[in-house]
Amino acid sequence: MTDALLFSANAVLPIVLLIVLGYVLKRIKLLTPAFLEVGNKLTFRVLLPVMLFCNVYAIESFSDINAGFILYGIGAVLVIFFLAIGICCLFTKDPAKRGALIQGVFRSNYAIIGIPLATSLFGDAGAAAAGVMSAFCVPTFNILGVIALSIFNGGERKKVNVGKILLGICKNPLIIGTVAGLAVLGIRTGFEAAGISFRLSDIEFLYKSLQNVKSVCTPFALIVLGGKFEFSAVSRLWKEIVFGTAIRTVAVPVMGLGAAYLLRNALSLGGEHFAVYVGVFATPVAVASAIMAKEMGADDELAGQLVVWTSLVSAVTIFIYSTVLRAVGIF
């Protein structure tokens, strides 16, 4: 048990401490709102795409991709999404709050916290599996978020432009980074099939530059995330915050990880796959959910508070889930 606790502490606490550092730096005014805004854009448009590219390219071959791992992850997200609609509609009659809560239940902060967490939990294999999952997980979260907020908002219904949504997904930097990684991996596989031993690492100056950018991504992204935390008055929303936080940090991870554990043999799931599932099911609400809620007329104050409080609570719950998975021999 001591080994399991130590393993989880070493995997989770570095991430938590970087988020805390970002918040402290903002409080002492070393990080300004303008810097955090630019830093957020830099993370999403440059650093994360490069990290995803490198993680995907690190896969040895397409045969290493476990289809059952992908199908379960996306299938579970869809199940959680539909359950969230039913549960949140029963909990509140306010459409604007329903939209924010539904997003808070199914949409994890996979890109900023989930991918680094998978790497911490299972090294390079976890990073590679996380990169592959991102190709499916990121667009799924975006599509479901638009659907939820198109149906449930504060009355400011906007016509859904399917073409625009699809174009937005195609232009998403995270999708571009992942697809580019898969494309270059495909080229490398083709070279190997033709008997040509050529890898991106052979172009040393380019490969080292990409690796340097990748190494900057995780600490920078987590510090910026911590700097964007805002603690506002919650008296008006405390019931919704408690409800959404409990579902996101307890119910969803227990259901998603528990079912995966029962199906692990049938789906040939290894430790690297569970490291990714922790990132998909157990991480806090995505920062993008608050931005989207504001743009589409949902309760953006509630959405923002769910980001903050699920981030705080998940620091403890992720530690617990990682410890349990280590204790049962998954990690």
Three-class HEC string of 158-182: CCCCHHHHHHHHHCCHHHHHHHHHH
- Provide the residue range defining the domain that includes 304: 2-327
Using the structure block, give the residue that is written with the tokens 């999708």: 175
What 8-state DSSP symbol labels residue 203? S
The letter for the amino acid at 132 is: V
The tally of domains found in the chain comes to: 1
Measured torsion, CA atoms of residues 304, 95, 256, 326, in degrees rounded to the nearest 10: 20
Whichever domain contains 109, its CATH number is: 1.20.1530.20
- What local confidence, expressed as pLDDT, does residue 251 receive? 96
Distance CA 71, CA 60 (A): 21
Backbone φ and ψ for 94, nearest 5 degrees, come out as -80, 115
Q: Quick count: other Cβ atoms within 10 Å of Cβ 258?
A: 11
- What local confidence, expressed as pLDDT, does residue 157 receive? 52
Indicate the average pLDDT of the chain.
84
Q: Which residues contact 117 (CB under 8 A, 6 or more apart)?
A: 11, 12, 15, 275, 278, 279, 283, 318
Average pLDDT over residues 126-150: 82
- What local confidence, expressed as pLDDT, does residue 45 receive? 84
CB 248 within 8 A of CB 104: yes
- What local confidence, expressed as pLDDT, does residue 87 receive? 94
Distance CA 125, CA 137 (A): 18
pTM to 2 decimal places? 0.79
Average pLDDT over residues 107-124: 86
Average pLDDT over residues 43-69: 81
Distance CA 205, CA 191 (A): 21
Confidence class for position 230, pLDDT limits 50, 70, 90: confident
At residue 127's C-alpha, the angle toward residues 145 and 141, to 5°, is 5
Percent of the chain exceeding pLDDT 70 equals 90
- Which of left, alpha, beta for 53 (phi over 0: left; psi -120 to 50: alpha)? alpha
Backbone φ and ψ for 108, nearest 5 degrees, come out as -90, 165
Confidence class for position 156, pLDDT limits 50, 70, 90: low
Q: Has residue 72 got a pLDDT over 90?
A: yes
